[in-house]
Amino acid sequence: MTIRVGLIGCGGIMHPHVEGWKAVSDRAEIVALADVSPEALAQRKAQVGREVKAYTDYLDLLADPNVDAVDIALPHHLHRGAIVAAANAGKHLMTEKPLCLTLDEAADIEAAVKKAGIVMMAAHNQLFFPPVLQAKQMLLKGDLGKVYMIWSFDCSERRAALALDKSTWHTPPKLDWGWRSDPAKMGGGEYIDTGYHPTYRLLFLAGQTPAEVTAMMGSYRVGLGEEDTANVMMKFADGSLGHVFTSWAMNAPGSRPLLFSIMGEGGQIWAEADKLYFQPIGMHTPSVTEYPGWSYGRTFQAEIAHFVDAIGKGYEPLHSVAEATNTLRVILAAYTSTDSGRSVTLA
């Protein structure tokens, strides 16, 4: 069976998605596109490389009986509406992060997906870094024994070109990032955007949702009006700790930035995007597993292949409504903690 796919939202992030769909062309094919922008539609149609239906209203795409599943990549504030509409139309769906902007919206999504009985997957592509999957397997096997602490990073130094107006040199530039410049559409700043990745990665590795969240955030370089850096600490019911550091203003530690670091009673595991290090207690040097040829783009191919497998084999994806909601719950608690200056207890 070939799964017929419609793409909802044809902006920049959909580019690696299209390449991912091409990689599973023996099992799925893109048959329709939807976007309000004629230019975005034209770009994706050219990338697909053949004739496909094009809609300016995604509701028309959802009404197309020749579409079995949809891949949603819209601005954050539009996620809830599109996800619920897709579920109500009986389409399997994959959606970019974040799931939505509020827990009430997440509850609407959960109810719609449950009622429709469709496969819904949160497109958490960074789960598919080989070091993340291998570290999860090691934790499930008990290679570290009791886990004490997990750090998770996603940072990049975003520096604007030097302006020749020297009066601007000591103030963050005011950047126009389209809808991302509007907190009402974004749902916050860096943390609900890029910071979503290290948060779901940490929860995936921990295998549980924290009982307590404490956060501090700041804005140092980007000048969006919201935070460009978030420092989030978590405590789990078993006493283990989690720590997310994410930024658009500075890089993660190391000349090759860290992806995550896990400390436990049996030693530690840490990773870069293409290498995993394991140093048991008592060993002076770590063992190193390398993944030559791996690239960030391949995470999109891997997540899409997983989505197709979940539909074809009838199992729940690694991250569905529950996991995506738990990630959002932590992020919203971190914003509350930052605003209140207090730790937030999760129910």
Residue where a domain stops, chosen among 90, 118, 146: 118
| pLDDT value of position 37 | 96
Task: For residues 155 and 245, state if they share a domain.
Answer: yes
Tell me how far apart the 2 most distant CA atoms of the chain are, in Å.
62
| pLDDT value of position 224 | 67
Rounded to an integer, what distance in angstroms lies between the CA atom of residue 319 and that of residue 243? 20
At residue 314, the 3 state secondary structure works out as: coil
Going by DSSP bridges, is the β-strand pair 229-235/241-247 parallel, antiparallel, or unpaired? antiparallel
| pLDDT value of position 168 | 76
| pLDDT value of position 75 | 96
| pLDDT value of position 178 | 76
Rounded to an integer, what distance in angstroms lies between the CA atom of residue 319 and that of residue 325? 10
pTM of the model: 0.93
* 290: CATH: 3.30.360.10
User: Which 8-state DSSP code applies to residue 195?
Assistant: T
Rg (CA), the chain: 21
308 is a domain residue: no
Q: How high does pLDDT run on average in the chain?
A: 94
Domain range for 273:
127-299+327-345
Rounded to an integer, what distance in angstroms lies between the CA atom of residue 5 and that of residue 55? 14
Number of structural domains, the chain? 2
To which H or E segment does residue 17 belong? helix 14-23
* 29: CATH: 3.40.50.720
137 is a domain residue: yes
Task: For residues 279 and 257, state if they share a domain.
Answer: yes
Which tens digits make up the pLDDT trace of 286-303? 999 999 988 888 999 999
Task: For residues 92 and 213, state if they share a domain.
Answer: no
| pLDDT value of position 180 | 78
Residue stretches of the chain with pLDDT short of 50: none
87 is a domain residue: yes
| pLDDT value of position 87 | 98
